[in-house]
Amino acid sequence: MDRNQILCRADELNSLLDDPNIRIVDGSWHLPNANRDALFEYQKDHIPGAVFFDIDTASDPNSGLPHTMPDAATFSTYAGSLGITDEHQIIVYDTAGLFSAARVWWMFRQFGATNVRVLDGGLPAWKNAGLPTTSDVVEIASVKFNASAPRDVVGLSAMRSHVDVGDVQILDARGAGRFSGKEAEPRPGMRAGHMPNATNVPFTALLNDDGTVKSTDDLKALFAEKQVDETAPIVTSCGSGVTAAIIVLALELIGCRNAQLYDGSWSEWGSLQDTPIEVD
């Protein structure tokens, strides 16, 4: 897929600020041990016109897991409350460069929006380009988002089957220490390690030092080094389904559109006592 259909440059977004069909979304989210308040930071400093998308609010309240996917009706109500329809051009960013914005990008796509992109390099790239931010409150008029049912979400029972049968490639976006089991998980009560036959593809390896996404050639080389078959089924995973979406985004940039995402990810798999786990 054309890189410009997935990513948006800061200068391009700046030229689109007055376009009535554009919706800019701050999709920032931080790990529990980061001690950061994404909403508070947004209120102090955001791209003009951007609304705040709360991953934890836009989730299934009954799952018992962090920010798992809601049903279509719940997402429709939440997205509509932000003034976003499924026909808008949506551009998502986060404060890290690229961390949680890919999850929001993936969610909008799963629920039927077709024109969704990620600001390459996020808020840091915007600021590095000398572009303005604001603390102004954005006025929002509720609209109707026509959500469809997600297609590429993998639940626990399907994930158990995939692990048992070995019929998919499992790509884990966590860092090497957590994947190997040598580092403790940031959430209490979770076992350390990874799913059997999973491949570690740390999301940081897909990014440049400035938080922008690596070139298509570099991504192809990385996935080739990891022996990923782009033509075979893929399921991505991470700690709680956030950075797994960065792998999905990177795969789409190299033309691979057959990746699904295990929504419960390690927050589910690692918290259970009967799921098989390997350590290195």
Q: What share of the chain is helix, strand, coil (3-state, %, to 5)?
A: 30, 15, 55
Sheet with 153-154: list strands edge to edge: 153-154, 259-262, 234-237, 169-172, 199-200
Contacts of 48 (CB under 8 A, 6+ apart): 17, 132, 133, 134, 136
Contact 147, 72 (CB under 8 A): yes
Q: State the amino acid at position 271 in one-letter form.
A: S
Question: DSSP secondary-structure letter at 211?
Answer: S
Contacts of 38 (CB under 8 A, 6+ apart): 26, 28, 29, 30, 52, 54, 95
**CA–CA dist 34, 14 (Å, integer):** 30
238 is catalytic: yes
27-53: buried (b, 16+ CB within 10 Å) or exposed (e) per residue? Answer: bbbbeeeeeeebeebbeeebbebbbbb
Of the candidates 104, 107, 219, 238, the residue annotated as catalytic is 238
Look at residue 254 and give its three-state secondary structure: coil
Catalytic residues, which ones? 238
